[in-house]
């Protein structure tokens, strides 16, 4: 049994969609859902202090076991009092198992049923990871929610390849469950199955039989078209238990979030809002805007009039345009504050709309005004980013 300090309960469901509002109870506070988790892979949200992250209203962040294992090392964080103390964050933390990062290192790793042997993308040193070790690491770090080790196949893998990865993910999930000793952490399993509906259904059926306290959907938004992503979400959610949280991994575009909420997703994480911020792409209610465009060079208003984030309250779009043009470090901080504020505000509006029965009209209004990034450009940029992130020395 999981400690009652790590539980989930529904507050309201939308009668005309699968959208739902709820609350995660964790040892480090309550987290209202649907919720977006900013990514702090190295134990920090890039460019921001923990106090700034809290001031944005964020109740939970994600840190990555793979990155923290490589540096500074799990034992260092343990010696310094655990991950919450180490990173100066007293609210909830979810740690990813690092499975996605490991399997993105295709030329640098070997997979067997026992585990994964891989070479560090930092210094080339060799490491061997097993499901049992991943649980041991996460228990030492002390996150509120921890993830089972999974094998994430590529979006273009064959049915046979995806099936093998899925079956290995199932075996590893069982081993993770058996290895867990701490009962104040909620261990989530990760549903795999690629873009094959029958495998997605098979994965859900197997993992739900093991009675995990929460379920993540992995292996999506890694190169497949959006319509395929949404179809796989629907296939998966249809079989997931209603009384447990549903976590869609790696999705952070506003339009994708609202579509996934409509299909019953409770939790999201992605580096996208902070990554695009550092490249000068700022979220508005009409879509992303490139602050580097000449149109903003003399704009007296903030990038989003009426936005209550620190950047928009205090600075003009022209000032942000100037900062990016000069490569000033403040540019990245202000843009990150704005994008995370936008996403946090969006999640609050979604929760309010679900609870007052107006979610569908809110969704339709949002999507009719929001212009998403071109899909082919988006996919191309994501592939370049993944390659650069995972294979760069």
- In tens, the pLDDT along 201-250 reads 999 999 999 999 999 999 999 989 999 999 999 999 999 999 999 999 99
Lowest mean pLDDT segment, chosen from 66-80, 284-298, 328-342, 367-381: 367-381
pLDDT exceeds 90 at position 302: yes
Given the DSSP bridges, would you call strands 20-26 and 7-13 parallel, antiparallel or unpaired?
antiparallel
| pLDDT computed for residue 387 by the predictor | 59
Average pLDDT over residues 371-385: 70
Asked if residues 113 and 171 have their Cβ atoms less than 8 Å apart, the reply is yes
pLDDT exceeds 70 at position 382: no
Q: Within a 10 A sphere around the Cβ of 213, how many other Cβ atoms?
A: 18
| pLDDT computed for residue 99 by the predictor | 81
pLDDT digits 0-9 by tens, 109-161:
899 999 999 999 899 999 999 999 999 999 999 999 999 999 999 889 999 99
The active-site residue, picked from 144, 150, 266, 269, is 269
157 is catalytic: no
Give Cα 276 distance to the centre of its chain.
Answer: 15
| pLDDT computed for residue 2 by the predictor | 44
**What is the SS3 assignment for 58?**
coil
| pLDDT computed for residue 121 by the predictor | 86
Mean predicted lDDT score pLDDT of the chain: 94
150 is catalytic: no
Asked if residues 156 and 223 have their Cβ atoms less than 8 Å apart, the reply is yes
pLDDT digits 0-9 by tens, 207-219:
999 999 999 999 9
CA angle 144, 149, 151 (to 5 degrees): 145
pLDDT exceeds 60 at position 85: yes
| pLDDT computed for residue 165 by the predictor | 96
Average pLDDT over residues 364-388: 76
pLDDT digits 0-9 by tens, 31-55:
999 999 999 999 999 999 999 999 9
Q: How confident is the model at residue 381 (pLDDT cuts 50, 70, 90)?
A: low
pLDDT digits 0-9 by tens, 157-187:
999 999 999 999 999 999 999 999 999 999 9
Per cent of the chain over pLDDT 70 is 94
pLDDT exceeds 90 at position 191: yes
Q: How confident is the model at residue 393 (pLDDT cuts 50, 70, 90)?
A: very low
Q: What is the pTM of this model?
A: 0.95
The DSSP code for 46 is T
In whole angstroms, what is the distance from residue 173 CA to residue 171 CA?
Answer: 5
Domain ranges of the chain: 7-272, 277-375
Q: How confident is the model at residue 108 (pLDDT cuts 50, 70, 90)?
A: confident
pLDDT exceeds 50 at position 371: yes
Question: CATH second-level architecture of 7-272?
Answer: Alpha-Beta Barrel (3.20)
| pLDDT computed for residue 383 by the predictor | 63
Q: Calculate helix-pair angle for 329-355, 317-325, nearest 10 degrees.
A: 140
The active-site residue, picked from 96, 150, 256, 266, is 96
In whole angstroms, what is the distance from residue 125 CA to residue 200 CA?
Answer: 35
Average pLDDT over residues 323-337: 98
């Amino acid at each position: 049994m999981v400690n009652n300090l790590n539980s989930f309960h529904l507050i309201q469901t939308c009668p005309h969609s699968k959208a739902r509002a709820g609350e995660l109870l964790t040892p480090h506070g309550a987290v209202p859902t649907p919720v977006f988790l900013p990514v702090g892979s190295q134990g920090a949200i890039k460019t921001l202090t923990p106090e700034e992250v809290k001031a944005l209203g964020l109740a939970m962040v994600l840190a990555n076991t793979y990155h923290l294992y490589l540096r500074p090392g799990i034992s260092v964080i343990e010696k310094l009092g655990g991950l919450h103390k180490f990173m100066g964050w007293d609210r909830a933390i979810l740690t990813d198992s690092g499975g996605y990062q490991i399997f993105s290192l295709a030329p640098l790793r070997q997979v067997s049923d026992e585990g994964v042997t891989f070479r560090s993308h930092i210094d080339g040193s060799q490491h061997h990871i097993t499901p049992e070790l991943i649980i041991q690491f996460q228990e030492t770090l002390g996150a509120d929610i921890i993830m089972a080790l999974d094998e994430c196949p590529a979006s273009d893998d064959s049915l046979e390849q995806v099936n093998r990865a899925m079956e290995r993910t199932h075996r590893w999930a069982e081993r993770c469950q058996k290895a867990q000793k701490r009962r104040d952490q909620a261990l989530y399993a990760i549903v795999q199955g690629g873009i094959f509906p029958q495998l997605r259904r098979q994965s859900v059926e197997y993992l739900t039989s093991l009675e995990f306290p929460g379920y993540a959907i992995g292996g999506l938004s890694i190169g497949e078209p959006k319509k395929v992503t949404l179809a796989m979400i629907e296939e998966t959610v249809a079989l997931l238990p209603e009384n447990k949280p549903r976590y869609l991994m790696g999705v952070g575009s506003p339009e994708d979030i609202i579509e996934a909420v409509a299909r019953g997703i409770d939790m999201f994480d992605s580096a996208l809002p902070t990554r695009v911020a550092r490249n000068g792409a700022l979220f508005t209610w009409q879509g992303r805007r490139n602050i580097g465009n000449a149109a903003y060079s003399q704009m007296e208003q903030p990038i989003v009039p009426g936005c209550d984030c620190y950047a928009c309250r205090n600075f003009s779009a022209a000032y942000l345009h100037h900062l990016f043009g000069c490569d000033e470090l403040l540019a990245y901080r202000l843009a990150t504050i704005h994008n995370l504020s936008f996403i946090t505000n969006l999640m609050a509006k979604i929760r309010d709309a679900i609870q007052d029965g107006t979610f569908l009209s809110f969704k339709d209004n949002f999507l009719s005004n929001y212009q998403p990034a071109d899909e082919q450009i988006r996919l191309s940029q994501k592939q370049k980013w993944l390659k650069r992130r995972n294979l760069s020395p």
